[in-house]
Structure 1
């Protein structure tokens, strides 16, 4: 019995396609889950039927989140917003969170989790965080190790990796600022940028700022993130079936 994992999508530039990078799908499948993509339906706020179909929800990377969701005006460096996607993912998150469904967020996904739980973001770390090191290299393959991440002992992330310091890829210019409700930061880059958050409650809610889905084939240890998520989703599937 495999859990069904819902994978969020984004609108292409021409808004003709609701799509997602296949690395997410491949990584979920390799970890033992059955990935299904959830399309963006413009103007729809009730995704209950989709949530009833899946056992876990994966929030993928992509657009900047509109700052008005956390009470700010945009800085000049903000780009590629999509309020249609924001509303779609916030609706999905609210439903999944209420059900205590396992949730995993990647890059934009960690930011979406934080904003949905009333946290805020650095809209552009390079202009807003003095001393910030490199987090978005150009002309670099997505599966290249780039910078180090310090992981807190006792966290879900430490349980997965079994290490206090790992190297990851990195492709972002926004990051978690004020933490949302019931969240704790469990990993940081060496310049102090939040690299992972987890729930303080008894549930699987994990977000990472890097892109593990692009690393799993070349660096298999990153598959552990997806395996932990899929196993939590399987437990949820069995629980709701009772």
Structure 2
């Protein structure tokens, strides 16, 4: 049986062009396609009561947190700085509770872009509210208006982790973020960085490294570099291994 992968939805608050100004939950099709291509069954998980996340976790084999808004600094003990972008406390609280619920099981979780940042905050890490607040020279991490299905900078992998196994010592990636990991959460290890030392990959220190994340958007790069599918394949394989125990 294929493992069931729950992908947490984002939410349009005012979807005027499609839903007549009513809220709407959605997941970009890239993620659904990526999970299906590597043998998983993708499901869209709506933003509901954060206290219900344990019930959701019981129903699925693996979990995927996607991109979107910034993460509210209130959740790691700070107040908003002037250059911070849009946030959604509703989404933050649901996803953080989900991470904590998954942590009580042996199931895997992948965070992509914002999803990696949420994972970090859920495990007591902190973020740069905007990369402009890093006190050092840096490359461009928000590549818009450049085509986001094309790469924009290199990522350098650390030895002895799945990103090194997939990509070697460095790989070209796309980049669509303003926030970034500042201090890593409990039991998370940095496994990739950009040339300006921004954290681009993490994984947990348990035996299976079942929590992991990347800062770029591999789901958008599949046509450019099909190796990016292996990031999602790792999630599905870990989920399948748990269902077969």
- Establish whether TM, by shorter chain, passes 0.5: yes
Question: Do the aligned partners of residues 138 and 102 (structure 1) sit closer, same or farther apart at CA in structure 2, a change above 3 Å counting?
Answer: same
How far apart, in 1, do the equivalents of 2:125 and 2:226 lie? 32
1:167 corresponds to: 172
Match of 2:28 among 21, 27, 39: 21
2:185 corresponds to: 180
- The 3-state SS of whatever aligns with 2:133 is helix
- The 3-state SS of whatever aligns with 1:57 is strand
Match of 2:201 among 187, 193, 196: 196
**Uncovered stretches (5+) of structure 2, i.e. residues with no partner:** 15-21
1:156–1:198 contact (8 Å) kept in structure 2: no
2:107–2:239 contact (8 Å) kept in structure 1: yes
Matched, 1:30 2:37: yes
Q: Which segment drifts farther, 221-230 or 188-197?
A: 221-230
1:152 corresponds to: 158
Aligned residues between the structures: 237
2:115–2:213 contact (8 Å) kept in structure 1: yes
- Cα RMSD, aligned residues only: 1.2
1:212–1:222 contact (8 Å) kept in structure 2: yes
2:18 corresponds to: none
1:85 corresponds to: 91
How far apart, in 2, do the equivalents of 1:167 and 1:129 lie? 25
- The 3-state SS of whatever aligns with 2:171 is strand
How far apart, in 2, do the equivalents of 1:229 and 1:92 lie? 16
Shift of 1:127: 3.0
1:59–1:106 contact (8 Å) kept in structure 2: yes
How far apart, in 1, do the equivalents of 2:200 and 2:215 lie? 5
* Segments of 4+ moved more than 6 angstroms: none
Shift of 1:169: 0.4
**Uncovered stretches (5+) of structure 1, i.e. residues with no partner:** none
How far apart, in 2, do the equivalents of 1:182 and 1:138 lie? 33
2:143–2:174 contact (8 Å) kept in structure 1: no
1:110 corresponds to: 116
Q: Which segment drifts farther, 209-218 or 45-54?
A: 45-54
TM-score (normalizing by structure 2): 0.93
Counterpart mapping for 1:1-242 below 5 A: 1-14=1-14, 16-41=23-48, 43-161=49-167, 163-203=168-208, 204-239=210-245
- The 3-state SS of whatever aligns with 2:52 is coil
1:45–1:87 contact (8 Å) kept in structure 2: no
How far apart, in 1, do the equivalents of 2:29 and 2:46 lie? 15
1:64–1:80 contact (8 Å) kept in structure 2: yes
How far apart, in 2, do the equivalents of 1:4 and 1:145 lie? 30
